[in-house]
Amino acid sequence: MSVPAAVPTTVAANGWAFTGFECGPPDGRTVLLLHGFPQTAASWAPVAARLAEVGLRAVALDQRGYSPDARPLDVADYALVHLVADAVGMIEALGGSVDLVGHDWGGVVGWQVAARHPGLVRTWTAVSTPNPLALNDVLATDEQQRARFSYIRDFRQPGRAEAALLADDAAALRAFYGSAVAPERIDADTAFFAQPGVLTAALNWYRAMSLHDTDGLARVNVATSYVWGSADMAFGRAAAERSAAYVDAPYSFVALESAGHWLPDEAADTLAEEIAHRVLPE
C-alpha cells in the first residue's frame, strides 16, 4: 500500500490556529496526537508514519504556546481549562470524533478530554502520563513521586527558568532529553524554544497549574490504553498502576520495562502497535 507523505496542516480551533502535520489516507480513521514538553508535534513523526502504514490518518498539532498563531501572553490563558478547550476544538474541526493519543502534557490534556468529553473520543491512549486522579492519590503519600516533580517548582519561576534552561547553548534543556531522543531532534527542539517568547509560552503551562484542575473530573468511560516506561523519570509505578482504578471501560496497561519517558522517540514501533491495537477493530 502506498502511504501518503506527511503534509503540513493548520487547524482553526477555539479562536486560534494550530499548525502541525498529518499523514495517512485523508479518509482514514483520524488519530489526533498531542505532544508534551519540551517537544513539538514533530516528536510524533515516527509514530504517525507507522499509523499511516496501517491506514490511519494521523494528525499531530503544536498546542497552545507552541503554534505561533496560538501564543497568548498572559499566564492565565494557559490554564488547563483552555488547553482542554483547544483540544476539543481541534477534535470538532477534524470531524467531531477522534482516536486520541497524548504524551506528557498532551497526556494531561487527553485524560481531561476523555473524562469530560467522552462523546468526542472514540478511544484514548495515554503515553507516559497517569490518570490525574490516580496521580493525586499517589502525591498525597508518596515522597518519591513528589521528588520527581521538584523541577516544576523551578519551571514556575518567570525569567529565571528561561535563563537557566537556555544558558550555555541550552545545556540544561538538552540534558532534559537524556539519551533517548536523537541529537538532531534535540537540536531542532532547542532551536525552537530559543525563539523569542516560545519557551515562556511553553513554561506557562506549568505556571498556570492549579490544585483545582481535577475538580469535578469524572472516571473515564472511553476504551483506554496506557503505555508507560518503567524507567520514566517523571511518573513512578505507583501512579501508573493506580490509573486503572479510574477507568470504567475496556482498559489495557502496557509497561515497557527499562523504557523511559520519551516513548514516542525510543519506542515508536511498540507504541504505534499499541495505538493501532486500541484503535482498529479486531
Q: Stretch 99-122: mean pLDDT, rounded?
A: 99
Partner residues linked to 101 by β-bridges:
33, 125
Bridging pattern class, strands 30-34 and 16-23: unpaired
Q: Is the pLDDT of residue 81 over 70?
A: yes
More confident residue, 1 or 61: 61
Cα–chain center distance at 267: 15
Q: Read off the pLDDT of residues 131-156 as tens digits, 9 standing for 90 and up.
A: 999 999 999 999 999 999 999 999 99
Q: Which long-range contacts (CB under 8 A, 24 or more apart) does 211-217 make?
A: 213/80, 213/112, 213/132, 214/132, 214/133, 214/136, 217/112, 217/115, 217/116, 217/132, 217/133
* Contact (CB, 8 A) for 87 and 109: yes
Reply yes or no on domain 7-279 having CATH 3.40.50.1820: yes
Give 147-181 as a 3 state SS string. HHCHHHHHHCCCCHHHHHHHHHHHHHHHHHHCCCC
Q: Does the structure show a pLDDT above 80 at 123? A: yes
If one counts every other C-beta atom within 10 angstroms of the C-beta of residue 66, the result is 24
Q: What is the mean pLDDT of the chain?
A: 97
Looking at the chain, the whole-number percentage of residues with pLDDT higher than 70 is 98
Q: What is the pLDDT, as a whole number, of residue 49?
A: 97
Instruction: Tell me how far apart the alpha carbons of residues 245 and 243 are, in angstroms, rounded to a whole number.
Output: 5
At 5, is the pLDDT very low, low, confident or very high (cuts 50, 70, 90)?
Answer: confident
pLDDT-derived band at 2, boundaries 50, 70, 90? low
In this structure, of 3-12, 20-29, 151-160, 256-265, the range with the lowest mean pLDDT score is 3-12
67 alpha carbon, distance to own chain's centre: 15
The residue whose grid cell reads 506528557 is 104
C-alpha dist (Å) from residue 108 to 4, 91, 181: 30, 16, 21
Rounded CA gap, 189 and 269, in Å?
22
* pLDDT the model gives residue 281: 76
Taking residues 43-48, what's their average pLDDT?
98
**Cβ contact 194:221 at 8 Å:** no
Strands 16-23 and 57-61: antiparallel
Nearest to 78 by CA among 117, 19, 37: 37
User: pLDDT for 231-255, tens place per residue?
Assistant: 999 999 999 999 999 999 999 999 9
**Is the pLDDT reported for residue 3 higher than 80?**
no
